[in-house]
């Protein structure tokens, strides 16, 4: 099993993530309907489709961060909602850490996640427990840090991050929103997870699967 995510694997990661979001577009929009305004799935799939077209034309062999740079620029330039720019900055942080390297190692993935978490917090001020994507980012980032410190194999680390993000996302079902539109919905959102957090869980699951592919 590879201990790095090579440039080719990063491309599979991005495409796998796009496929996963596209497959669940309706579900994600439905979640946003319950906790916001119902545009999330459409916004995400539209931006990811645009990114897929940009990726087909970009030279993503330039480095392990290239595909994320394309994703980041696409989301920052062409996506709507509150989450569009936040995801744009999130992808951009992965792009920056991977820039100029042939592959992502575990410490690089831990660094990109920690940077992305810090960026999302700086822009949106959400803390753990506010019912946002941060509730999936934080546990995944911590899992990667712990795995990097322990010197775990990459597959194990990504499995732990994907599981932690999933658990964090599911846990938002029981949280009252304190940021964004979901804060106006109150108890009506209880019982459904936050769509941004669910999407972050798909992101880490796709990373784990790209390692096998």
CA nearest to 133, candidates 100, 88, 102: 88
Instruction: Take residue 167 and report the two structure tokens written for it.
Output: 């658990």
How far is the C-alpha of 122 from the C-alpha of 175, rounded, in Å? 21
The CA-based dihedral angle spanning residues 119, 96, 23, 210, taken in that order and rounded to the nearest 10 degrees = -130
Report the site for Mg ion in 18-77 (rule: CB under 5 A): 32, 36-37, 39-40
83 binds ligand ADP, rule: CB under 6 A: yes
Considering only 10, 48, 55, 86, the residue that binds ligand ADP (CB under 6 A) is 86
For the chain, the straight-line distance linking the first and the last C-alpha, in angstroms and rounded, comes to 10
141 binds ligand ADP, rule: CB under 6 A: no
194 binds Mg ion, rule: CB under 5 A: no
Paired residues of 5 in beta bridges? 104
82 binds ligand ADP, rule: CB under 6 A: yes
Q: Which one of ligand ADP, Mg ion, none interacts with residue 133, CB within 5 to 8 A by kind?
A: ligand ADP
124 binds ligand ADP, rule: CB under 6 A: yes
**Contact (CB, 8 A) for 160 and 147:** yes
Q: How many residues in total does the chain contain?
A: 213
40 binds ligand ADP, rule: CB under 6 A: yes
Which three-class secondary structure string do you get for 154-212? HHHHHHHHHHHHHHHHHHHHHCCCCCCCHHHHHHHHCCCCCHHHHHHHHHHHHHHHHHH
98 binds ligand ADP, rule: CB under 6 A: no
Instruction: Take residue 27 and report the two structure tokens written for it.
Output: 């579900």
139 binds ligand ADP, rule: CB under 6 A: no
13 binds ligand ADP, rule: CB under 6 A: no
196 binds ligand ADP, rule: CB under 6 A: yes
197 binds ligand ADP, rule: CB under 6 A: yes
Complex with ligand ADP: residue 6 or 183, whichever CB lies closer: 183
Beta strands at 103-104 and 5-6: parallel, antiparallel or unpaired? antiparallel
Complex with Mg ion: residue 32 or 159, whichever CB lies closer: 32
180 binds ligand ADP, rule: CB under 6 A: yes
Name the site residues for Mg ion (rule: CB under 5 A).
Answer: 32, 36-37, 39-40, 81
Name the site residues for ligand ADP (rule: CB under 6 A).
Answer: 32, 36-37, 39-40, 43, 81-84, 86, 120, 124-126, 132-134, 179-181, 194-197
């Amino acid at each position: 099993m590879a201990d790095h995510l090579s440039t080719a694997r990063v491309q599979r990661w991005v495409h796998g993530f796009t496929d996963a979001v596209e497959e669940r577009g309706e579900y994600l929009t439905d979640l946003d309907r319950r906790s916001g305004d119902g545009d999330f799935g459409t916004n995400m799939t539209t931006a990811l489709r645009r990114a897929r077209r940009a990726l087909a034309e970009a030279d993503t062999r330039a480095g392990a961060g290239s595909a994320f740079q394309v994703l980041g620029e696409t989301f920052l330039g062409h996506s709507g909602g509150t989450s569009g720019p936040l995801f744009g900055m999130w992808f951009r942080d992965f792009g920056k850490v991977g820039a100029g390297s042939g592959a992502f190692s575990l410490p690089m993935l831990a660094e990109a996640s920690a940077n992305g978490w810090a960026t999302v917090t700086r822009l949106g001020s959400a803390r753990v427990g506010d019912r946002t994507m941060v509730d999936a980012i934080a546990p995944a980032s911590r899992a990667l840090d712990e795995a990097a410190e322990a010197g775990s194999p990459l597959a194990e680390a990504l499995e732990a991050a994907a599981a932690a993000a999933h658990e964090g996302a599911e846990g938002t079902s029981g949280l009252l929103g304190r940021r964004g539109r979901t804060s106006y919905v109150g108890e009506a959102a209880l019982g459904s997870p936050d769509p941004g957090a669910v999407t972050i869980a798909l992101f880490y699951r796709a990373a784990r699967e790209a390692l096998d592919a």
